[in-house]
Structure 1
Amino acid sequence: MKKSVLILWSLFFLIQGISKSQDLSVVVFENVRVFDGKSEELTPVVNVLVEGNKIKSISPTNIEIMPGAKRIQGNGKTLMPGLIDVHVHMAFGALTMKEMMSPMLSEGVIVEKTSKGAEEMLLRGFTSVRDAGGPIFPLKMAIDAGKFKGPRIWPSGATISQTAGHGDFRTPEEKSRRFFGEPSRAERYNATFIADGRDEVLTATRENLRFGASQIKLMAGGGTSSAYDPVDVTQYTFDEMRAAVEAAEDWGTYVMVHAYTPRAIQRAIEAGVKCVEHGQMLDEKTLRLMARKKIWLSTQNLVEDTPDMDPLRREKRKPVIEGQSKVWPLAKKLKVKLAWGTDFLFEPELNALQNEYILRLQKWFSNAEILKIVTHDNAELLQLSGLRSPYPGKLGVVEEGAFADLILVDGNPLDDLSLIAQPKEKFLIIMKDGEIHKNLINLTDPSL
């Protein structure tokens, strides 16, 4: 009797397995040349088989596939990993400051604006992003559930800031929650936690982890988009910062910090922080320390002043803008672990330039080095989240077993990087998680 039951259960699971495998979509990119995310040259012409959401095989010979599988004729075009931006703010980048301060702002408005921006970002070829702080969890869950289209998101949740820190967005009439008991508007909308002292920092960190943060964003120094803190100030004591690091490490993940100056960054490194955001005012001594300790520098080539920029912000940005042209080449020379992001804030029109900002790295890097940074290297930083990564697996590469996050490019971006800045015309196929979201090759096929 027991043997019969075991046989029945075995047959059940076998049927389930067969049924599941039959449900997997199968796509073959035929006759493509591959940029694998790491190499300085494209491969010879190969065929790439995608089964479900993974790359099943890469072969120079024809691949036998089942009837009904999709075939995409590459005709020698370039298949490469999806682009990755490791410093976006899906909410702050989709809304203007006027909209953020409007009495009409609601969670519904935030989701509406951010969902539109997320789909546009995916159609620019960005299949993965790390959100560096803000109200992100509803959007991420909706994308993962298939309600909206958008990139994979590694969420930080609300930024964590001391009083008078870079995440203290209170207006002049808003009093301290600690003394007056009323959360600020930014805290109510899950944009930031204003947390002072070890206990409050622990609670804020754990709150973000509770909601699904893949890493924690701490404000360790002054900023240019905040009203009360000069750029040069150091924020959070060692004990406060160490509290966030300990709480994150207990969950198997890490803390990244917003900071520009050597003093702020040295304190963060001492506290155990694994990734520095920005750092445009770094000196050689601190960069050598980062290289030795394998601390990531996730930095940007920021936009110059725009006509509508607040004069105070324009003045605060001067040392940061001046410093970025020095930091990139020096960090490269010292072999610091480098990652790239955009960090657009409160100017939604800048989002359309996301791809073009990659080209700004040509001052200091070869085309191959740049493509490696915005695919393989950025993916390596994403997976620093370890067990808290929402999408564990290989990303940023084209190799067997990796996620099928792919772009078919009309041309060779290793020869002509400007192709990356023309996603509308030059990105013929955009695939995320094995699903085709854009197709300019076979528009007559309803299955695509």
Structure 2
Amino acid sequence: MSKIFYEKFKLSSFDKNYTAGVYLKNPDRYRQLEKDSLKAENLISRGAGYSYVAASFRKEALSLSMKNFNRILYFSEKEKLITVEAGMTIIELLNFTLRFGMWITQIPGYPFISIGGAVASNAHGKSAELHGAIRNAIKSILIFHKDHGWLNLSNDENKNIFDLTIGGYGLTGTIVSATFKLIDFTGFNFQTSINKTNSITETVKFIKNNKEKNNLIYSWNRVDSNLQNFGDGLIFCNKINSQNEEKNLNILKSDKLRFLSNFPYFCLWNKFSIKTFNYFFLNYYNHLKKNVYNDSFNNVIFPFLGKELYFSLFGNRGLIESQILIAYEKVESYVSDFKSLIDFHRPTITLFSVKGMSGEHKYLRFEGNMICLTFDVVKNQKNLNFINELDKLHIKHDVVPSIIKDSRLKKEVFDKCYKYAGEFRKDLRNFDHKRFYRSELSDRLDL
């Protein structure tokens, strides 16, 4: 990089656990993208920058921002196909397709994530139990690789690279555009029902038994060791409201909501603030909210839109998020061990949620017909000790941890949890033996 004069920036992962000085380039033409790629010794593409981990940058290396590539290249209402550039955001895609009563169902939880980032991470949303990950909606991809040039990828063309690219975290080259298969969407809002739950295992059983009845189903659970009913909480069931005749074409606002520009120095999440928030949250839904009510598209699909303050309150040190997949039959024993660790370490857990997942676990894909548990903890030494001990449970119970969520995940744990990691490494090196495309994530996990 010393021979290339690009402006240097300091970038941080969304969870604030990794910061590095990088060279950032923002090409706005395909020819410039080619030129920048060919000059760099190593590089990685960058979308909107909302990844919890450093998947789009690496110290002293080139990050190629795709934000200027945000056009719709092709759309057929009859074929229900759309081709968009990688820099387009989820919100921009939906604002267009919903005009025609169509969408893709595999929507990550924040609207300003880029299409390229969603493809590279094989993103999923609340409907993962029913619709799986975004891989199921992708018809084809166009990438540019430093050595191999422009490549069209699909199940019919370069299928091996197609499979490596979806959920390959940008390591096969720059994702330039993607074609999606759209499905019909009617109603433009949702009907939400709320069910109480007394434990995590009860939550999992409910989700397993009701997954066919709802478009989306997920939970909010309390996991404090002092609770009488560990894991009690609420289960939210969302169905598309097909009776709604008001088709609001401005269902999504295009103005970007900002996180606090100046984070508080200290973390404001602690045992007292979490207990207070949980008390009001639980009582609001128990006593003030109807058990069945109409809910907006934004509120259901994008749970953190307008609630960015939650992340800001972690302060400058950030958070640690863990998201795992575990077999249904192993949940009870895992939760028992999980609670024992909580009783011993007393971690500060701000959020815990459960939802279903489907699909095929291959390569680095966070997929499988399993249950998905997600929780956030305040970043401090006590909680790090808890999370590190939790890694042993993940190995013991054959858990699959999400590598796009947990920036402290070590290669040793990753290799034991991802049984296809070696196959991914081998196939990636067969395609790109010089390993041009690298990030902090790929270096840490030796991908």
TM-score normalised to structure 2 length: 0.26
Q: Greater strand percent: which structure?
A: 2
Greater helix proportion: 1
TM-score by length of 1: 0.26
